[in-house]
Amino acid sequence: MTKRFLALLLVIALFQNSFLRAEGDDEGMWLPFLVQKLNISKMQEMGLKLSAEDIYSINKGSLKDAVIALDHGSCSGELVSPEGLFLTNHHCGYGEIQAHSTVDHDYLTDGFWAMSRKEELANPDKTVSFLIRIEDVTDKINAALTATMSEDERNKTIEKLGNDIAEKAKDGTHYEASVESFFKGNNYYLFVYETFMDVRLVGAPPSSIGKYGADTDNWMWPRHTGDFSMFRIYCAPDGTPAEYSEDNVPYKPKHYFPISLKGYEKGDYAMVMGYPGSTTRYLNSWGVQQTMDNENTIRIKLRGIKQDIMSKSMDTSDKIRIQYASKYSRSSNYYKYSQGQNLGLKNLDVVAKKGTLEKELTKWIKQDPKRKVEYGEALKLVKNSVKKGNELNIANNYWLESFWLGPEVIRFSWTSFRQLSEYASSKSQDLKKELEAKKEEFFKDYYLPIDKDVFIAMMKTYQADVPAEYHPSFFTIVKNEYNNSFEKYADDLYTKSIFANEELFDNFLKKPSSDVLRNDPAFEVANAVISLYGDLQDKSDKFNSDLAKGERLFVKALLEKESNKAHYPDANSTMRVTYGSVGDYVTNGKQMPFKTNMDEYISKGKPTAPKNDEFYVHQRLIDLYNAKDYGDYAEKDGSMTVCFTTNNDITGGNSGSPVINGNGELIGIAFDGNWEAMSGDIAYEPNLQKCINVDIRFVLFVIDKYAGASHLIKEMSIVK
C-alpha cells in the first residue's frame, strides 16, 4: 500500500495510449539522446542550423544544459544568463508569488522585482534539476525477464534491477538517478540528474500581465498573456547543490540561451525543449471512453463544486483571495482542460478511430501463428480489464477528487500525524520547531469556512454517487450518530480537530498527547480514507495486472507492425525535443493569425475595472503603449508583438519551456495549448494542435520598460 500511495502522490503532483507515428513534422516528443539517430536530418531540412551534439551532449555544454525541470517536472524553464537567471511561466511561479504575498505586499496584484541580489526571495522546497545524461538499459532489464513471469514477478524484477542500475550510476556523486519505463514496459532508460535546492524569486509581472485573460482566455487563441516569471539558482561556492544559505553564490551554467530580438516569420523553424508531464497516446478505445465518462466527467463535476465554494469567499476579502489564488488556479486549469478534452475526443470520433486501429492490428496478428502466440491475448486482456474494473475506476476517481484533493484537513492530518506522534512521545524541541514551521505554512493559506463547506459538499456527493461498498468507514458513524448529516459531523470535526484550528494545534504543541492525536476527528477521517484507498487498490490489482500486460503486448505488437517508422514514447516528465514551425491555424473554418500585438491587448482591456479583473490593464502599460515606448523590442514596423503560435507538440509540464529558433536562440516561452486540441494528449491531430507562446521581446519589454529592471537585461546575451 505504501508504494501504491507514493505512486498516487507522484501522479497528483505531476498531474497528471493512440499509437505514435512520425507522420507530420509537428508531431513527436522525442528523447534528446536519440535525435541524432531519428530526427536530425529532418530538423536541419526544416531550418535547424545546429548539430545533434549541440542539442544533447555529455561531453560539452549543449542546449539540454540550459533547460531545467522545476520541482522534478511540474514545469520547465530556461537559463538566460551566466549568473543562474532563468525564465519560466508566471503560472509556474504562481505558488511562490502567492506564498510571498500579503495584503500589504500583494505581489500577485502588483508584481515583484528584485532590484538587487539581496532582494531576491528564497523558496523552501523549490528545486531545479538538470539532465546530466540518458542511457538505454533495455537489454539489461530484458535479460532478467522471462515469458513465464507473472506481472507481479516481472514488476519486482524490473524494480530491483532498475534500482541497482540507478544506485550504481549515482555512486560517488551527488546526482540523482532513476530508470524509467517507456512504450508501456517495452523499453527502459536510465536518467541522471543534478538537482539544486536554493531557488530564489527574482521577478514577476502583476497578474494583470502574467495571467491576462485568466480563466476566460485559458486554452484559447488569440492570447495576450505575458506568462513569465524569473528565478535565480544559487549553489555552494564550489558549484555544487546546497540548501539555502547566505554564503551561496549564483550558479554558473554549462550553457544558457542567447536571446533573439530578430523576430520570426511564418514558416520559420521552431523547437521546444522541456519536460512534458503525461500523454496517453497508446490508450485503447475502451480506455478513451473510460477517460471521458469517468476521469474527466468526475473531475468537471467535483472541481466545479469546489471552485464555486472557493470563489464566493475569495470575492469577499483580499486576504482570502490571496490565500486561495494558487489553489483555485491549479484546480480550474484542469477543470477547463477536461471539458475541452471531452469535446475534442467526441468531435474527432477518437473511440471509433481507435477501434479501427485495434481491428487492423488484430488482423495483422492473426496472419502469423507466432504473432498469435505472443500477442493474441493482448486486446482481450485490455478490454476485459477496463470493462470489469470500471466500477472501481469510478470509485478511485471520486476518491481522488473528493478526499485527497478535497478538504485540506484530510491531507494535512495524514501527512502530519507521524511527526506529531513522534513529538508526543519524544518531546523533541527540534521536532517541535519543524512542526511549528509546518503549521505556519499550512494555516497561512487556510480559511476554515471554505474547507468546511468543501468537506460537506464532497462527502455528500461521494455518498450519493459511489456505491456503498466503496464508502469510507466514518460514513457509518455519520449515518448512525449524526442522522446522516454531514453538516452536524463537520460542526464537530472543525470545532474539535487540531488540524482545522491553529489555536488547538498550538495547544497540542505546548501539551502533546498521543491520546488526543489518535482520537482527533480529522485524523480519524484521514485514516478511514487511506484505508479505503488500500482496499480499492487491492480490489483493482487483478484488473490492473491484466491491463498492464495487455497494454505492453499491444504496444509491442504495434511497434513490430510499424517497424519501418520512427516512434516516440508517451511523455512521462522526462526531457523531450519537439520541432516544427511558426504558423497560423484554422478554427471553425476561420484562419487565425499567428501573432497578437499590443493594439489588441489594449483594446481588449478594462483599465477602469478592479485590479483583479481578468482584463485589467495597468495605467503604466497604457502610457507605454500610447507613447509607443517599446525600446529595442518592437517589430520593424513599430508594433509590439505579445504572443505567437507554433505547431510544436507539447503538453502539461512543458509550461515554461524555451521556444528556440534554428540558431539555438530563445524567441519565446511556451505556456499553453489551444482549446480545439485538448484531445491531443490522447490523440494527436496535426491540423489542430498549436503551441501558444509569449514572445521573448514582450518579456524583455515588461522587464525593462515596464518594471525598470534593466539590470536583469544586462545579464543576458542579446542578439539583434
pLDDT tens digit sequence for 50-60: 999 999 999 99
Count of residues for the chain?
720
Instruction: Give SS3 for 262.
Output: coil
In the chain, what are the helix, strand and coil shares in percent, each to the nearest 5?
A: 50, 15, 35
Q: Phi and psi dihedrals of 641, rounded to 5?
A: -75, 140
Under 8 Å CB-to-CB from 572, ≥6 apart: which residues?
180, 181, 182, 277, 278
- Strand partners of residue 250: 234
Mean pLDDT for 108-113 is: 97
Report how far apart, in Å, the C-alpha atoms of 533 and of each of 7, 138, 226, 231, 291 are. 12, 33, 41, 38, 20
Rg (CA), the chain: 26
| Per-residue burial over 439-457, b = 16 or more CB atoms within 10 Å of its CB, e = otherwise | beebbebbbeebbbbbbbb
Per-residue pLDDT band for 1 (boundaries 50, 70, 90) equals very low
Give residue 591's pLDDT.
Answer: 86
Give residue 685's pLDDT.
Answer: 86
Question: Is a pLDDT exceeding 80 seen at residue 150?
Answer: yes
Report how far apart, in Å, the C-alpha atoms of 574 and of each of 275, 286, 356 are. 5, 27, 31
Mean pLDDT for 15-35 is: 64
Instruction: Give SS3 for 634.
Output: coil
* Active-site residue, 655 included: yes
Distance of CA 625 to the CA centre of its chain: 34
Give residue 497's pLDDT.
Answer: 97
Question: Is a pLDDT exceeding 70 seen at residue 25?
Answer: no
Question: Is a pLDDT exceeding 80 seen at residue 513?
Answer: yes
Instruction: Say whether the peptide bond before residue 472 is cis (omega within 30 degrees of 0).
Output: no
Per-residue pLDDT band for 17 (boundaries 50, 70, 90) equals very low
Place of cell 468537506: 455
pTM of the model: 0.91
Per-residue pLDDT band for 415 (boundaries 50, 70, 90) equals very high
Catalytic residue among 198, 217, 227, 704: 227
H-helix or E-strand spanning residue 697: helix 696-701
Question: Is a pLDDT exceeding 60 seen at residue 279?
Answer: yes
620 compared with 13, residue with greater pLDDT: 620
Question: Is a pLDDT exceeding 80 seen at residue 117?
Answer: yes
What residue ranges do the domains of the chain occupy?
A: 32-256, 285-558, 583-719
Distance of CA 228 to the CA centre of its chain: 16
Can you read off the three cell numbers belonging to residue 600? 489588441
Give residue 528's pLDDT.
Answer: 97
Question: Is a pLDDT exceeding 80 seen at residue 2?
Answer: no
Q: CB–CB of 653/333 below 8 Å?
A: no
Give residue 588's pLDDT.
Answer: 75
Question: Is a pLDDT exceeding 70 seen at residue 136?
Answer: yes
Tens-place pLDDT, residues 65-108: 999 999 999 999 999 999 999 999 999 999 999 999 999 999 99
Distance of CA 471 to the CA centre of its chain: 30
What is the residue-averaged pLDDT of the chain? Answer: 94
Q: CB–CB of 404/11 below 8 Å?
A: no
Question: Is a pLDDT exceeding 50 seen at residue 11?
Answer: no
Distance, in Å, from the CA atom of 153 to the CA atom of 144, rounded to the nearest integer, reads: 11
Per-residue pLDDT band for 116 (boundaries 50, 70, 90) equals very high
* Active-site residue, 570 included: no
CATH among 1.10.357, 2.40.10, 3.40.630, 1.10.287 for 583-719: 2.40.10
Q: Phi and psi dihedrals of 181, rounded to 5?
A: -90, 140
Catalytic residue among 91, 471, 567, 618: 91
Distance, in Å, from the CA atom of 670 to the CA atom of 681, rounded to the nearest integer, reads: 16
* Active-site residue, 104 included: no
Distance, in Å, from the CA atom of 7 to the CA atom of 572, rounded to the nearest integer, reads: 13
Per-residue pLDDT band for 215 (boundaries 50, 70, 90) equals confident
Distance, in Å, from the CA atom of 184 to the CA atom of 4, rounded to the nearest integer, reads: 18
Q: How many helices (H) and strands (E) does the chain have?
A: 29, 22
Give residue 429's pLDDT.
Answer: 94
Place of cell 478511514: 528
Per-residue pLDDT band for 585 (boundaries 50, 70, 90) equals confident
Q: Phi and psi dihedrals of 301, rounded to 5?
A: -65, -55
Instruction: Name the pairing type of β-strands 658-660 and 666-673.
Output: antiparallel
Q: CB–CB of 554/361 below 8 Å?
A: yes
Catalytic residue among 655, 681, 695, 704: 655
Give residue 26's pLDDT.
Answer: 65
- Strand partners of residue 204: 112
Amino acid symbol at 74: S
Give residue 584's pLDDT.
Answer: 86
Q: Phi and psi dihedrals of 200, rounded to 5?
A: -115, 140
Distance, in Å, from the CA atom of 706 to the CA atom of 120, rounded to the nearest integer, reads: 19
Q: CB–CB of 298/398 below 8 Å?
A: yes
